[in-house]
């Protein structure tokens, strides 16, 4: 038995399952790249203050779920629990907002960390693909990002994802709603921690998942009833653009999500086949986040899609992306001279864009052919001394068993032709 195991709430990605995760990441990022989003990568840890200011000191993420550490130099750092604050910090540090080409459109992919109670669909280490459009206040930008996420889900074959949509107002109308909501919450039978949260950020209470709290929230005032004229018009335009693009959505006036920085457009993608952990992604507009972390006013919008939960959604629907074969051709040499010749041929085959593997380790013919079958390859390249003397190699179709002698110097072209690449 191994001495060490993966920490609780984490997982390893290994073949063949890892191929599905890679395919999901590719499907999520492909629409973004086509829409002009450039790749960004940030450190796995940041200063604690970045998340305390940006995500919100009253959120569960900051108060309960962040992994924090103190360096030998005394710096307080945190493993990143989400991506938006880090990407915005990086964009500000690099002065991308001063380029004169706004919005700055970025996408990213990576691992994130939260100290949560592990369960299916909720891990302490998880993977996301995210997108941020920094520096523009435009309902078309909000709609663009939502449409790109929907296209990613559709390209994966998902058909049962629901899009929930809401507006959280802005600094003009939210204070009025905040006061009305606090007045309502003060009349409820809430525990001490929840009452304290209601005084710091009452919208966080709306995100409470406990049945005893949710029952009491039935009559809570709604943000949609308190939107100012500008926010109402902005939200109406987002809805119009989505409808015109053929995007189906559900208005959810109680949707707030778990982060403090959201303003105006807020959305979530849910899949009912996942049980309690039904959210597979979401995002929204965060017009004040730049100022929260010490930058200039930069209206922005973004989202993050969970790779782990999207894979679970694919499982729930029994669908999945078409995966490229790990191996299409497997080389089986018989004898040392053949090993050198076929090793060189495998290199040529790979350069031609074909996935190829080799019988390493001096396997005998029988074991090498078993490995070829297990690899999932369509063809085997087999050669011995006689074949090489004739300038040939045997090309075997592993499905039909048909074997054909082909010229060694024409083997690459023949494989490319048979695989339909020519």
Q: Which residues contact 354 (CB under 8 A, 6 or more apart)?
A: 328, 329, 415, 416, 419, 421
Of residues 104 and 365, which shows the higher confidence score?
104
Q: What is the mean pLDDT of residues 306-321?
A: 94
How would you classify residue 324: left for phi > 0, otherwise alpha for psi between -120 and 50, otherwise beta? Answer: beta
- For residues 253 and 239, give the distance between their C-alpha atoms in angstroms, rounded to a whole number: 14
Gap between the Cα atoms of 83 and 86, Å rounded: 5
Thinking of the domain 17-173+227-317, which architecture would CATH place it in? 2-Layer Sandwich (3.30)
Average pLDDT over residues 308-333: 93
Burial code (b: 16+ CB inside 10 Å, e: under 16) for 343-367 equals eebbeebeeeebbbbbbeeeeeeee
Q: Which of 372, 354, 336 lies closest to 411 in space, CA to CA?
A: 354
Tokens of 17: 């399952």
pLDDT at 259: 65
pLDDT class for 60, splitting at 50, 70, 90?
low
Model pLDDT, residue 57? 62
CA 169 to chain centre: 27
Q: How confident is the model at residue 1 (pLDDT cuts 50, 70, 90)?
A: low
How many C-beta atoms lie closer than 10 Å to residue 273's C-beta?
Answer: 16
**Chain centroid offset of residue 325 CA:** 23
Binding-site sequence positions for L-histidine: 82-84, 114, 128, 132, 257, 261-262
- The pTM assigned to this predicted structure is 0.90
**Mean pLDDT, range 325-333, rounded to an integer:** 94
pLDDT at 258: 64
Tokens for 8? 């609780």
Q: What is the mean pLDDT of residues 77-105?
A: 95
pLDDT over 70, % of the chain: 97
**Could you give the residue range(s) of every CATH 3.30.930.10 domain in the chain?**
17-173+227-317
Asked if pLDDT for residue 2 goes beyond 80, the answer is: no
Provide the pLDDT for residue 202: 84
Query: Quick one: pLDDT at residue 302?
Result: 97
Contact criterion met (CB below 8 Å) for 388 and 338: yes
Domain with CATH 3.40.50.800 in the chain: 329-418
Is the pLDDT higher at 40 or at 273?
Answer: 40
Edge-to-edge strands of the sheet including 279-285? 38-39, 104-113, 125-134, 300-306, 279-285, 263-271, 161-167, 250-251
Q: Could you name the CATH architecture of 329-418? A: 3-Layer(aba) Sandwich (3.40)
pLDDT by residue (tens digit) across 353-374? Answer: 999 999 998 888 899 999 999 9
pLDDT of residue 58: 57
The pLDDT-based confidence of 227 (bands split at 50, 70, 90) is very high
Mean pLDDT across 380-384: 94
- In what order do the strands lie in the sheet containing 392-397? 356-358, 329-333, 379-383, 392-397, 403-407
The average pLDDT across 45-54 equals 88
- Asked if the model's pLDDT at residue 38 lies above 90, the reply is yes
pLDDT band at 27 (very low <50, low <70, confident <90, very high): very high
pLDDT of 55 over the 80 cut: no
Residue 59's pLDDT is 65
Higher pLDDT among residues 32 and 259, named by residue = 32
- Per residue in 121-138, pLDDT (tens digit) is 788 999 999 999 999 999
**How does pLDDT run across 243-300, given as a tens digit for each residue?**
999 999 999 988 887 666 789 999 999 999 988 779 999 999 999 899 999 999 999 9
């Amino acid at each position: 038995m191994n001495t060490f195991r993966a920490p609780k709430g984490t997982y390893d990605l290994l073949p063949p399952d890892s191929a599905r995760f890679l395919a999901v990441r590719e499907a999520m990022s492909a629409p973004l790249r086509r829409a002009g989003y450039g790749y960004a990568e940030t450190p796995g840890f940041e200063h604690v203050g970045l998340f305390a200011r940006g995500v919100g000191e009253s959120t569960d993420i900051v108060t309960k779920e962040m992994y924090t550490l103190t360096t030998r130099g005394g710096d307080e750092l945190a493993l990143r629990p989400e991506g938006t604050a880090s990407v915005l910090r990086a964009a500000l540090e690099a002065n991308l907002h001063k380029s004169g080409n706004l919005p700055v459109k970025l996408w990213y992919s990576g691992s994130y960390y939260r100290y949560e109670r592990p369960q299916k669909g909720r891990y302490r280490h998880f993977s996301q693909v995210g997108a941020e459009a920094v520096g523009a206040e435009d309902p078309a930008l909000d709609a663009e990002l939502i449409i790109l996420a929907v296209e990613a889900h559709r390209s994966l074959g998902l058909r049962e994802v629901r899009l929930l949509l809401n507006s959280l107002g802005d600094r003009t109308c939210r204070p009025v709603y905040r006061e009305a909501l606090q007045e309502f919450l003060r009349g409820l039978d809430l525990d001490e921690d929840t009452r304290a949260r209601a005084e710091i950020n009452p919208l966080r209470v709306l995100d409470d998942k406990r049945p005893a709290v949710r029952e009491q929230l039935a009559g809570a005032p709604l943000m949609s009833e308190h939107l100012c004229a500008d926010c109402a018009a902005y939200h109406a335009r987002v809805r119009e653009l989505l409808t015109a693009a053929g995007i189906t959505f559900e208005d959810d006036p109680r949707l707030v999500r778990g982060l403090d920085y959201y303003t105006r457009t807020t959305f979530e993608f849910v899949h009912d086949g996942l049980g309690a952990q039904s959210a597979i992604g979401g995002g929204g507009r965060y017009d004040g986040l730049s100022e929260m972390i010490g930058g200039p006013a930069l209206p922005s919008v973004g989202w993050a899609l969970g790779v782990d939960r999207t894979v679970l959604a694919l499982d729930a629907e029994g669908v999945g992306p078409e995966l490229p074969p790990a191996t299409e051709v497997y080389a089986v040499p018989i004898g040392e001279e053949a090993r050198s010749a076929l090793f060189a041929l495998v290199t040529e085959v790979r350069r031609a864009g074909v996935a190829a593997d080799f019988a390493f380790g001096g396997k005998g013919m029988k074991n090498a052919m078993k490995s070829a079958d297990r690899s999932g390859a369509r063809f085997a390249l087999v050669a011995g001394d006689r074949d090489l003397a004739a300038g040939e190699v045997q090309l075997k179709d592993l499905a039909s068993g048909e074997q054909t002698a082909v010229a060694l110097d024409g083997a690459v072209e023949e494989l490319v032709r048979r695989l339909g690449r020519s």
